[in-house]
Structure 1
Amino acid sequence: MDKKALSERDICTKFITPALERAGWDIQAQVREEVSFTAGRIIVRGRLHTRGKRRRADYVLSHQKNQPIAVIEAKDNKHSLGDGMQQALAYSDALDVPFVFASNGDGFLFHDRTGLGSQTETTLGLDDFPSPDELWERYCHYKGLDQAARPVVEQPYYDDGSGRTPRYYQTVAINRTVEAVARGQDRILLVMATGTGKTFTAFQIIWRLWKSKQKKRILFLADRNILVDQTKNNDFKPFGQAMTKVTNRTVDKSYEIYLSLYQAVTGSEEEQNIYKQFSPDFFDLIVIDECHRGSAAVDSAWRSILEYFSSATHVGLTATPKETKEVSNIDYFGEPVYSYSLKQGIEDGFLAPYKVVRVDIDRDLQGWRPSKGQIDKNGELIEDRIYNQKDFDKHLVLEKRTQLVARKITEFLENSDPFQKTIVFCEDIDHAERMRQALVNLNPKRVAENRKYVMRITGDENEGKAELDNFINPEARYPVIATTSKLMTTGVDAQTCKLIVLDQRIQSMTEFKQIIGRGTRINDDYHKHWFTILDFKKATELFADPDFDGDPVKVYQPRGDDPIVPDDELAEDDVAAGDSAEALTETQAEGVEDNWGDYAVEPGATWQTDDAGVADSGEDGPGKRVKYVVDDVEVSVVAERVQYLGADGKLITESLRDYTRQKVQEQFASLDDFLRRWHDAERKQAILDELAEQGIFWEDLTRELGDRLGDEPDPFDVICHIAFDRPALTRRERAEQVRKRDIFTRYEGQARQVLESLVDKYADAGIAPIEDVKVLTLAPFSEIGAPMELVQAFGGKAGYTRAVHELEDALYQSGS
């Protein structure tokens, strides 16, 4: 057997898999081959999208299901033994496995990341691969898992037989948490971006700890009723009769899994603190959902629950850990045992990417100053100063600005999809109502079809709140547009939200991340693969902040007796003027009866004062801050630009043409370099696919360039023209030149007919179809003969492949 002639797959089948079997690995239960562990990044250009390649490991070895401990990267025998090692190490980073192998069929190069062996890398023969028990022993020693801890970490995942298994990053999060608990760690923090399945991850953690009897009575805490109900009815459903939801009325201590709102077990009066009906050691595990809110602050009334049950293990879950000088998740829980960021989720293809349409308005950039003695629409004397973007819609309303924003939203929807779910984030409830009215007036036909086309969904109004479930339900067409201020920033699982409008000045990074998270879910059934951010207040400048997708850094500084804001999402710049204390107190009073997913206000929370020291509650009274309304100031758009999310996670502001030139020139140093690679390529389509993964869409690019390239240009010509300023030919022109040169004279009969038909196919459909032998099954080839018969007309597959390459060389000889 000539090993050098074998494919990579043959090397796996004939050498690597048998070596694993001889070492005692169960091929069915412990070995998975060709494991795709990402979904492939979604790349958006214009109105089109495609997916990049999935990351795929040749082998993943597990002690048992979903407990990966090793990866193997295989190469064919033309490569050296360790050629796949760096690739395998990158996979081991993602999968969190310490044992890494590379092989070309001659043996294995073994890289031990535990640091426990005498050498980091060693060469092993095909018969020297370590057994499952040997690697598991090393793994447990590396992780600090003694004999008592092992039954806990060996406890299987919940499997309902549906095929739903944790994604790779969920597996890492679950395993690290279970291992930490098994080692006795009592404070654990998990950071996972919005839309990455924190609740499902929490369920699998609890399931394994509960089934292994490591934890017997467990409390899951959240601060929104809708989150508790969704959890109970969906991910946690397998707990069945062992699970209950705590109310603020009765306590039944016969259950093992408890789900509760903070508001259901706490109150301002001692008798309302239902949690004290449980003994302090009743629960041995507490999982805190969205732990950046509520219990994050030291002096929080909700923190008292965690302190009361301090003997339990506490696991905090959040997409946005809070790290300020006043509040710290890390101070309480410790450094995260695992973090999975928005950037990584988009890179892996599990989260939807975004494009940004940034709209700059003249008054926002230049400011506005009233004339001396000017009064507003309501007869109020306008304070004489310069008003800028920070003031608009909070302290000063320019009615024509509201109308302009509403018009741009309407234009965007009409030019794309008028029924795409849209959330408009406004400064406060008053602004949300004015925006609703403006959108209603600009969409009379849509509103006549259904009055709920536009709805204000805010915490003070039951009619709008009642539509929240319909808004987030993919099957419900209405409401389409929701105007809001704070209510929908978090905890709203709007899977089909395709447009997020920012007409709100956002200073809190936590709040910004939460708002962006409203659009990051993917829903294939409803063609939701990406979303657009329409930004009117420069909020998307926060994308450039290193903190946007960086690891949380602890900056908490205890300050003695200084008062601490219970939740800095509600600090001065973030509490919306007009979100009245009255309305918020109502929400607080609703407690467990709040079925709307409202923004939960912690008992005893105090409201910030404005910079004049007057409570900004929206109530009448002395010192009330006036919101001026001006209806005769003209406003206009001075700049509008589209930004795409690049492969490096940064926003790209170049035109599609500029972006294409940059990416091509990054890959090919010169025209000669490109031509050499193009002519040498076994498949031209492979080069096009590589560039598509960089975000180059040929159809969109050709449309943008219009008549400049003529009808139906080949991507080859698009590249030469854009990147290297070469004149372009159409596919039909290239095909015609090949026909004129009559290059097929040495072929006769069926072979010549096939080549002539391939030229026609190229002219109609491009290079991709003629590079695929399956084209012979289609008309007109099927009318010439059967596929095998046609291939034999060239003397076999090698002859057919050679003839196709000759045809390609002829096609690209002209104009190159």
Structure 2
Amino acid sequence: MIYLNDKKTESEIDSEVRDLLIERKWAKNHIKQQQQIAPGRIYKGEDGYETGPALIPDFILFYQPDINEPTEPRPIAIVESKKVPDAQAAAGIQQGKLYAEIMGLKFAYSSNGSKIVEYDFITDEQKEVDKFPTPDELWERSQQKNKFSLDDLPMIFAPYNREIKNADLSIRRPRYYQVAAIEATIDVIVKNQKRVLITMATGTGKTFVAMQLAWKLWKPKKTKPRILYLVDRIFLQEQAEETFEKPFAKAMSRIKEKGVGIVKSKDIYFSLYQGISDRKQAEGIYKKYSSDFFDYIIIDECHRGSANDEGSWRAILDHFESAVHIGMTATPKAKDKANINTYRYFGVPVYTYTLKQGIDDGYLSPYSVIEVKSDVDISGWRPKPGQKGKYGQEIEDKEYTLKQFDRIITLEPRVQFVAAHLVNHLKETNPYDKTIVFCQDQQHALDMMTAINALKPIRHPNYCARIVAEERESVRKLLKAQFSDPESKYPVVVTTSRLLSTGVDIPTLKNIVIDKSMKDIVDFKQTVGRGTRVNHSENPFAEKYWFTIIDHRDTAKNFSDPEFDGVPDVKIIETWAKGKAKKTKKVNKNKKIPEGGTILTRPIAQTRPVVTGFSVKTALKKHYVLDSKGDKIYMDELEDHTKKVIRKLFPSKMQLWKLIREKPEKRVDFKKQLQKEGIDLKLLQKITENTDKDAFDILVHVAYGDAIIPRKEKVGQIKQSISLKRYTPFARNILEIILDLYAERGYDQLEEPKELLYMPQIKKIGMPNEIVKEFGNIKDYENAIHEIIKLIHK
């Protein structure tokens, strides 16, 4: 008999599925219904930021063993509930498989409350089953052939630490992918795997994962294991120590350089590998610890040499060979030697969380790219016969190219050009947007800091600062207390070479300027990763949902590399020729930034030739957005793309007009759909040079060729129409002011009728409740606004 559920609601189907689970001994607190695992992708809208659909499985099943030890349930399967006939009971299996796969689970189910379809990742088999398995049955199946013993369970199901708090003082709970990474690692450790690799994109909380992993390895044991946390940068060590401090407190110690006060009485140790490794004339401090002293070694940013046979890290790992080596990296497998060695040493990652997945989930920030090429970048530079540098240095007579700029020769006008481009960008966006400029070396970072400060849009002594290895103590103080602090405004811009390329958490970073040659895609990924963190804040200048990469070194080609995941949402390429620029730049009227000339002052002597006395112009600039499939749409192709999308969605022009004249929520959904297709209505207005026209009118014009008139002309016709004369003079005056706002600013002002009541132009006439009474009630007022919209699009 065919099961018919047409008359049942989705809620009733959910209840039936839940009952089927409970019948099979699934405890109610182990069935999580409609639990969000990710907030959804961030989209850059016209007036702010919006999120796409959140990731919310219908049911997540958890398993918890019945043992006399503290335990916490862990997810084991996904169940999708669908209101469909029996023949379509598998309708939710694909969605269930997607959720299960990203959560690292082995089972997915789809059910309509009557029939049940199962997918088993272990056997790669999909089949209809009579009933759900019990919790114990599913746990038994999940272990495959290598079963866990009863003694393993306290570690596998050890509760997570709940002492770390978020900024709002709520408990910081592991996200779904962090749980998946931790549990996958614990599982293979319990099964005696000695080398483990976790790959997680920058900004996804590797240090927090390391802390929770260490907690689950350490807490259940009566005889506490010893764990070494190994890093190659001091601020990575300090960051880890801060994260571990509250949970582990007195169990922690730092292995100090030169072996001062060797400590062996603690459980958790932190060290820079440079501080304990072998040196030319001294034996490494690590040898003061017996080879079996540590049970676990966590290697942060392990792609940087730990797996290299000749590397310093490798000697340390070889000495502590009996320990479990846990490598953590943000860099998926690539072609370069160091990266290949990492994967050869540690093996296949037990869990991978990519930049693309992080962006799709809404945990990482999308971004746009501006690729800038100056004329000298394209043509190269050659000295005139006998030409010497600014400070009298000899200049070899040869052709100098982009890779050599700011390494073996400094072209001051080019440095100033890059600085001017950034300052103009900040003026056009927000002069307080936190920005990192990656330079060729420390001297180049000094040059760039000097150039930016000469043009800075905000008068402040610390507007732009240099953070490099030469400034040890000041680096840590400046970085932690100021630049990385979301509530601190200064410094706004920081120039650096390598010091900030990895491991530094700067939640409000909104611009990354690349004026540094990137040797490989690993270096490029680490640099892009500086900007991927999202920062939610009620403070407008501290919130961050998007960032921009400004590329001066042709590194954007890495976006086309198949090994790069998480491509930019928007890209601009600027090309300027000598003479007249193709793109007009917006310049602050109070201080015009010159295209060429010399503005730099140099506080210290140069070791490479410095050249000045010529101008640098932009030679190339491109701008593209991505459609819903991730394909690039260049701005000169935007009209054709828009026409194709609109005609596909609306074969008839009247269908489009009908939607435009519908209720506001339908227009809002339509705009979101356009954004996902790479169509920004305000950008379309600019591209078609129709900023004075209605954005929806432009869509009809582009798709079907209809003639359009300016908004002001439309408003003039509406004011003279008989439609407004039926309102009282006071109400008519309100509607005319609203029409004037539309004429000046566009359709956005009409989307929220209630919000219009609080605009300054309206509030000075009367309070919202007084205005509404003139129309009758709030519904009558909203109907009046909807009537105006229909008149606009008549």
Tell me what 2:455 maps to.
442
Tell me what 2:106 maps to.
98
For 1:731 and 1:102, the matched residues in 2 are separated by: 55
Q: Summarize deviations over 1:319-343 as a string: whole Å, max 9, x none.
A: 1257534661011111111111112
Q: What does 1:695-706 correspond to in 2, within 5 Å?
A: 695-699=678-682, 701-702=684-685
1:725 to 690, 705, 708: 705
Tell me what 1:230 maps to.
239
Q: What does 1:162-201 correspond to in 2, within 5 Å?
A: 162-201=170-209
What's the CA shift for 1:270? Answer: 7.5
Helix, strand or coil for the counterpart of 1:196? Answer: coil
Tell me what 2:651 maps to.
670
What's the CA shift for 1:92? Answer: 1.8
Given the superposition, is the C-alpha separation of residues 520 and 275 from structure 1 closer, same or farther in structure 2, using an over 3 Å criterion? same
Whether contact under 8 Å (2:119, 2:126) holds in the other structure is yes
Whether contact under 8 Å (2:484, 2:506) holds in the other structure is yes
Whether contact under 8 Å (1:52, 1:693) holds in the other structure is no
For 2:60 and 2:644, the matched residues in 1 are separated by: 34
Q: Summarize deviations over 1:293-332 as a string: whole Å, max 9, x none.
A: 2423211222111111101111000112575346610111
Q: What does 1:552-571 correspond to in 2, within 5 Å?
A: none
Q: What does 1:34-45 correspond to in 2, within 5 Å?
A: 34-44=34-44
Tell me what 1:559 maps to.
none
Given the superposition, is the C-alpha separation of residues 499 and 70 from structure 1 closer, same or farther in structure 2, using an over 3 Å criterion? same
1:212 to 194, 207, 220: 220
Tell me what 1:82 maps to.
90
Tell me what 1:595 maps to.
none
Given the superposition, is the C-alpha separation of residues 638 and 45 from structure 1 closer, same or farther in structure 2, using an over 3 Å criterion? farther
State yes or no: 1:532 paired with 2:542: no
Tell me what 2:8 maps to.
6
Whether contact under 8 Å (1:51, 1:693) holds in the other structure is no
Instruction: Kindly provide the amino acid, as one letter, of the partner of residue 388 in structure 2.
Output: I
For 1:762 and 1:363, the matched residues in 2 are separated by: 47
More contact order relative to length (CA 8 Å, sep ≥ 6): 1
1:413 to 408, 426, 442: 426
Q: Summarize deviations over 1:107-133 as a string: whole Å, max 9, x none.
A: 3222233328xx631143xxx332222
For 2:787 and 2:20, the matched residues in 1 are separated by: 43
For 1:658 and 1:810, the matched residues in 2 are separated by: 25
1:141 to 144, 156, 159: 144
Greater mean deviation of Cα atoms: 223-232 or 726-735:
726-735
Instruction: Kindly provide the amino acid, as one letter, of the partner of residue 238 in structure 1.
Output: P
Whether contact under 8 Å (2:365, 2:533) holds in the other structure is yes
Whether contact under 8 Å (1:37, 1:56) holds in the other structure is yes
Q: What does 1:243-262 correspond to in 2, within 5 Å?
A: 243-247=252-256, 248-262=259-273
Instruction: Kindly provide the amino acid, as one letter, of the partner of residue 17 in structure 2.
Output: I
Tell me what 1:24 maps to.
25
Tell me what 1:547 maps to.
563
What's the CA shift for 1:783? Answer: 7.3
1:633 to 611, 614, 621: 614
For 2:658 and 2:291, the matched residues in 1 are separated by: 70
Tell me what 1:373 maps to.
386
Instruction: Kindly provide the amino acid, as one letter, of the partner of residue 276 in structure 2.
Output: V
Greater mean deviation of Cα atoms: 4-13 or 660-669:
660-669
Instruction: Kindly provide the amino acid, as one letter, of the partner of residue 73 in structure 1.
Output: E
What's the CA shift for 1:767? Answer: 7.9
Q: Summarize deviations over 1:486-535 as a string: whole Å, max 9, x none.
A: 22222222221211111112222221111111111111221211111111
What's the CA shift for 1:784? Answer: 7.0
Helix, strand or coil for the counterpart of 2:90? Answer: coil
- Unaligned segments of structure 1, at least 5 residues: 551-618, 746-752, 792-799
Helix, strand or coil for the counterpart of 1:524? Answer: coil
Given the superposition, is the C-alpha separation of residues 145 and 385 from structure 1 closer, same or farther in structure 2, using an over 3 Å criterion? same
1:122 to 113, 119, 128: 128
Instruction: Kindly provide the amino acid, as one letter, of the partner of residue 521 in structure 1.
Output: R
Whether contact under 8 Å (2:685, 2:691) holds in the other structure is no
For 1:259 and 1:657, the matched residues in 2 are separated by: 53
For 2:59 and 2:323, the matched residues in 1 are separated by: 39
Instruction: Kindly provide the amino acid, as one letter, of the partner of residue 220 in structure 1.
Output: Y
Instruction: Kindly provide the amino acid, as one letter, of the partner of residue 422 in structure 1.
Output: T
For 1:341 and 1:428, the matched residues in 2 are separated by: 29
Given the superposition, is the C-alpha separation of residues 149 and 666 from structure 1 closer, same or farther in structure 2, using an over 3 Å criterion? farther
TM-score, normalising length from structure 1? 0.77
Greater mean deviation of Cα atoms: 183-192 or 468-477:
468-477
Whether contact under 8 Å (1:660, 1:722) holds in the other structure is no
What's the CA shift for 1:635? Answer: 1.9
1:454 to 464, 478, 492: 464
Whether contact under 8 Å (1:353, 1:645) holds in the other structure is no
Helix, strand or coil for the counterpart of 1:498? Answer: strand
What's the CA shift for 1:732? Answer: 10
Whether contact under 8 Å (1:657, 1:722) holds in the other structure is no
What's the CA shift for 1:704? Answer: 5.9
What's the CA shift for 1:180? Answer: 0.8
For 1:731 and 1:67, the matched residues in 2 are separated by: 61
What's the CA shift for 1:761? Answer: 14
State yes or no: 1:511 paired with 2:511: no
Greater mean deviation of Cα atoms: 471-480 or 360-369:
471-480
- RMSD over aligned CA atoms reads 4.2
Given the superposition, is the C-alpha separation of residues 770 and 626 from structure 1 closer, same or farther in structure 2, using an over 3 Å criterion? closer
Tell me what 1:344 maps to.
357
Given the superposition, is the C-alpha separation of residues 2 and 333 from structure 1 closer, same or farther in structure 2, using an over 3 Å criterion? closer
Whether contact under 8 Å (1:220, 1:286) holds in the other structure is yes
Helix, strand or coil for the counterpart of 1:36? Answer: coil
Given the superposition, is the C-alpha separation of residues 761 and 242 from structure 1 closer, same or farther in structure 2, using an over 3 Å criterion? farther
What's the CA shift for 1:650? Answer: 6.1
Tell me what 2:77 maps to.
70
Q: Summarize deviations over 1:403-444 as a string: whole Å, max 9, x none.
A: 11111111111222112221111112222222222222223x
For 2:690 and 2:624, the matched residues in 1 are separated by: 25
For 1:141 and 1:762, the matched residues in 2 are separated by: 66
For 1:133 and 1:405, the matched residues in 2 are separated by: 63
Whether contact under 8 Å (1:189, 1:337) holds in the other structure is yes
TM-score, normalising length from structure 2? 0.79
Given the superposition, is the C-alpha separation of residues 630 and 641 from structure 1 closer, same or farther in structure 2, using an over 3 Å criterion? same
State yes or no: 1:357 paired with 2:370: yes
Residue identity over aligned pairs, in percent, reads: 35
Q: Summarize deviations over 1:346-387 as a string: whole Å, max 9, x none.
A: 122111121111111111111222233333323344322222
Whether contact under 8 Å (1:714, 1:766) holds in the other structure is no
Given the superposition, is the C-alpha separation of residues 196 and 361 from structure 1 closer, same or farther in structure 2, using an over 3 Å criterion? same
State yes or no: 1:478 paired with 2:478: no
What's the CA shift for 1:149? Answer: 3.5
Greater mean deviation of Cα atoms: 201-210 or 320-329:
320-329
Whether contact under 8 Å (1:523, 1:529) holds in the other structure is yes
Q: Summarize deviations over 1:450-493 as a string: whole Å, max 9, x none.
A: 32212222222458625233222222222222122222222222
For 2:75 and 2:498, the matched residues in 1 are separated by: 42
Q: What does 1:225-304 correspond to in 2, within 5 Å?
A: 225-247=234-256, 248-268=259-279, 272-304=283-315
Aligned residues: 703
Tell me what 2:671 maps to.
688
1:153 to 156, 162, 172: 156
What's the CA shift for 1:290? Answer: 0.8
For 1:681 and 1:90, the matched residues in 2 are separated by: 35
Helix, strand or coil for the counterpart of 2:6? Answer: helix
What's the CA shift for 1:678? Answer: 4.4
Greater mean deviation of Cα atoms: 47-56 or 417-426:
47-56
Greater mean deviation of Cα atoms: 231-240 or 211-220:
211-220
For 2:516 and 2:789, the matched residues in 1 are separated by: 58
Instruction: Kindly provide the amino acid, as one letter, of the partner of residue 457 in structure 1.
Output: I
Tell me what 1:399 maps to.
412
